[in-house]
Each structure stands twice: as C-alpha cells, then as structure tokens.
Amino acid sequence: MNVLVTGGAGFIGSHVVDRFVQEGHQVSVIDNLVTGKRKNVNREAVLYKHDICSSRLDRIFKREHPVVIVHLAAQMNVRRSTEDPMFDANVNILGTINLLQLAVKYGVRKVVFASSGGAVYGEQHQFPASENHPTAPLSPYGISKLSCEFYLDYFRQMAGLGFTALRFGNVYGPRQNPEGEAGVIAIFTQQLLKGQQSLINGNGLQTRDYVYVRDVVEAVMIASDQQVNGIYNVGTGEETTVNDIFEQLKALTKVENKELHGPVKKGEQLRSVLNCSKLTEETGWEPTVTLAEGLAETVAFFQEKK
C-alpha cells in the first residue's frame, strides 16, 4: 500500500519508514529537515522537503495517493512551546488540520497520530495512567497534542476518516538527535562521550516511562491496520528517574561525570508512567526491549557515530 510518513527524516519517523519499506510498501516522506536529516531517509522512499502547513502538500497527495498516513512531524520541544505557544499551535494544530483536510479530500483510509503519553495527562493521579486518566496538560505542547486528538475524532465523525492516536512514553534509541529533539537519554549520552558536563533539571527524581524505538515502531505498524482505532498508550509501565538514567549511562560509557543539577523545567510533570494494557489486550502488542538492553544499543550507536 502507499504510506505517507510526516517527519520521516526524524528519529522515530526514519525507523517507521525503514519498517514499511522492509515490508514492501510504497513510502513517501514529508519533512522540512529542520530537525530531521536527509541521510536518515531510506533510499527506497520518496522525500518531499516541505512543511506540514504548506499549501503545496495538495500536489503530493494528488501524486502519491496515500492509503495510510503516519503523522509524526511536530514541534516537540516543551520549553519552546511555553516560550512561543503561537509557534507550537501553528505547527502542531494547524499543520495537523491541513493534513486531515487533505486526507479526506484524497480518500485516505487511516491516520496514525503520534500523541504524547506524558504531556496530555499532566500531573498523574493514578500510576500507571490508563487512557481514561483525566487529561490536564501543563504545557502548550501537551495542549496541542490533546487538541489534535479531538480533531482526529471530529474528522472521524464528520468524514469517516479512521484514526489511531498513540500516546507515546519517552521514546529513545539510535538516531535520536540530542541537538534538535527532546530526549534526555540522547543528550546525556552525547555529553558523556564528548566529555561535557551534563545538567539534570531539578532534583532528578522526576520519572518517565522510557520505551525503545523498535517497540514504538511495532505499535505504529499494528495501528496502521484498519481494525485498530482509537487512543492507545505506548510505553512499558515502568518508572525510571532521570538520576537513574544518568547513572546507568555513566556506567555504560565508562565516563565519570558529576551529577550537576539545574533549574526545574517549566511545563514538566514530576511523574509519568503509562498503563498499556488496552493495546496489549486488543492487539497483542507488548514492549520487548528492556531498559538495560535499549540503553546499551543506544550508547553503542552514539559510540559508533562518534
């Protein structure tokens, strides 16, 4: 089938593109290459260097006739969203609406949307949080992701457009860009290997649900099936503190680095961990990569890159 991946030159997107190509699908990519990299894009995929807000996307849809859209392109920096909510909304909300309107116009069957399992819930009251947990975003980024979920449901009701919104935990792994994309594991790993001082936001006791990119790609592939519709968490159900991540990475890189703490990051919740039983029960998906295994593979990637 014809698959369109937005943000396909980025961290998660490039892995998704590789998997679709591997399974014999025709893949096109839309990426403005602001944070994504051309070298990440599989040679078998067609790359269009455009922004998701562009009016030129109409030509791409007309040419490629995608059956499924995997929408990963986003402004994903929480800090920038608090500093410039207008920019965040323009990219994440208006860009998504642009895609959904074109999806309806050109008869797309399904949209798989990358939402955020941390940002949409805000400060959790239940641990781990299921999809029924109250949503109370602490940042414009979280608000924009939640807004897109509502728009997806609107287009489902009004135009019959199928959708699956995957609320990712903290995704990590090879190709994550420590300069342009959120990801404390990538940031710390690069700093340790370069002999730079790492800075932990706040006391470092904030927790996250770290899920390896290969498991996330598997969830995306399952979600591209017409029978999987609605909102699903994608994580491991396990909490890990930032301090613990830092210590594990120090051990893997064999680099001594002081645990230096800085100011608390605005819009960042204290604890985040996801209950993924809904996805498991309905599809059989389960995370297969342990944190120890995933961190080892990630460090190996950055060592080779260095």
- How open is the CA angle 41-47-53, to the nearest 5 degrees? 115
Active site residues: 141
Residues 6+ apart with CB under 8 A from 153: 163
How many C-beta atoms surround the C-beta of residue 92 within 10 A? 23
CA quadruple 181, 184, 186, 190: dihedral sign:
positive
247 touches 205 (CB < 8 A): no
CA quadruple 217, 28, 141, 294: dihedral sign:
positive
Euclidean distance between CA atoms 226 and 229, whole angstroms: 7
